[in-house]
Amino acid sequence: MTMTELSTPQPGIKRFIKVDWNIGALKTAGPRYWSFVWMLIIMTTLGVLAWVVVLTTGGNAMGQRDNFTWGMWFADYMFYVGLAAGGLVVYASVHLFGAEQFRPLSRLAVLMAGVLTMIALLGDLTDLVRVWRIFWFVVTPNISAIFVYTGSAAGFYMVLCFVDLWILVTGVGGEKLAFRMTLIALPVAIYLHTTTAFVLALNKSRELWNSAVLVPIFLTSAVASGVALLLICAYILQHYHVLEFKKSMFRSLATLLATVIIMDLFLLVVEIATVYWPTAAKAGHTLRFSEFLTGPYAVQFLPVLILGVIAFSLLAGRKTRHMPAVQITASALYVVAIFFKRYTLMSMGFAIGPLGQTQTPYIPSLVEALIAIGLLSMGMLFFTIATKILPLRVPLEEHEEADASERADTQNERVLEPGVAL
């Protein structure tokens, strides 16, 4: 079934690249919607102006320094790339594992993943004062530099998400193509998070980063924060009647979130144990980690543990897990916790430099903060407009198909059969 069959000619709908763009919806949007959109436009403009300041005055407009080599942009890169994962996991679980309860979320999830990866990549570019030199990435890439892998993976992943969205919205290729795309997108997502973790983990010069456990931590943090953000977005869009979901969908999402949160926290505890256990402890490691437990960096790191434990506790109770307020609070807490985690991870490379000198904590300059807020606003602007004009609502027929497949397992298998027999 395709959108061509479903769509009926309506005023204000323009068809372009086989997608029905509901431009008319913008005309009928209320003042609250437009004031929100204008606020985002202003913030984005401020971000662009801040970037112009960096391009004209150079890197000294930033709070980063010689011994705090990377800052806000890198924390944001890890954060946004991670958030993008949630979308893909949900999308993949629909088409790969037959988790039909998430089907109504699939278009929203892929849109979110694409937009987040886009702002993650733009964040990298805004850090470069001579951004036009980026063409050397293509001309003389260095195969031993992990940046080449994570950068290209992020670019490919972003394109993949938007192509996936187009396939889901237009229905081109049907379930079979959607399934095949999942087979590509899921390994690419894992590859992206692995290479992002490797940007840190592959440095013997930075003791706290140089840990293989960083790769699984990146995967669990990414999925947890991504699912949490998706859950919040789903509630917001349901509130504004853009999309509708069943309660069971939110319950499934919350259960998935709780599971990934506890895995994420477990891996963190494992890493801390390795740093401090007497038979494993190295002076350089413990000294550096102590900066984050009791030193000046504790304000960055302790929220990761505290918010994480609270979020899990909220979702752990079977009796309360289904309550929207609990789900939203836990999700919001964990998204914030993961932001702190990314910021802390960034700081862990620099708190004590390679020559042993302790650094005062980095705080982004106004210019860096404006760029970061501008990029986030830009992403939200894209998202806000897309939710209005794109057909994100999964057609009823697909729901019914899904319901039918839920009722009969055998039928469910048959639905997936064409894809399985690739």
Query: Which positions touch another protein (CB under 8 A)?
Result: 58-60, 62, 64-67, 69-70, 127-130, 133-134, 136-137, 139-148, 151, 203-206, 283-284, 287, 349, 352-357
Query: Under DSSP, is residue 284 helix (H, G, I), strand (E, B) or coil?
Result: helix
Strands (E), 342-412: none
> Shortest approach of another protein to residue 112 CB, angstroms?
27
Residue 383 CA to residue 16 CA, distance in Å, equals 19
Compare residues 130 and 407 and give the one whose CB is closer to another protein.
130
Strands (E), 195-354: none
Residue 361 CA to residue 296 CA, distance in Å, equals 7
> Shortest approach of another protein to residue 354 CB, angstroms?
4
Compare residues 118 and 146 and give the one whose CB is closer to another protein.
146
Compare residues 140 and 279 and give the one whose CB is closer to another protein.
140
Compare residues 62 and 84 and give the one whose CB is closer to another protein.
62
* Residue 355, φ and ψ in degrees, nearest 5: -100, 20
Compare residues 20 and 124 and give the one whose CB is closer to another protein.
124
> Shortest approach of another protein to residue 36 CB, angstroms?
35
> Shortest approach of another protein to residue 157 CB, angstroms?
18
Check: CB of residue 220 under 8 Å from CB of residue 269. Answer: no
Residue 39 CA to residue 56 CA, distance in Å, equals 26
Query: Given the structure tokens 């988790």, which residue do they identify?
Result: 99
Tokens at residue 275, please?
């740093």
Please name which of 385, 388, 418, 363 lies closest in space to residue 65, comparing C-alpha atoms.
363
> Shortest approach of another protein to residue 173 CB, angstroms?
35
Residue 232 CA to residue 105 CA, distance in Å, equals 12
> Shortest approach of another protein to residue 136 CB, angstroms?
4
Residue 261 CA to residue 49 CA, distance in Å, equals 38
Residue 353 CA to residue 119 CA, distance in Å, equals 29
Compare residues 168 and 275 and give the one whose CB is closer to another protein.
275
Compare residues 65 and 393 and give the one whose CB is closer to another protein.
65
> Shortest approach of another protein to residue 46 CB, angstroms?
22
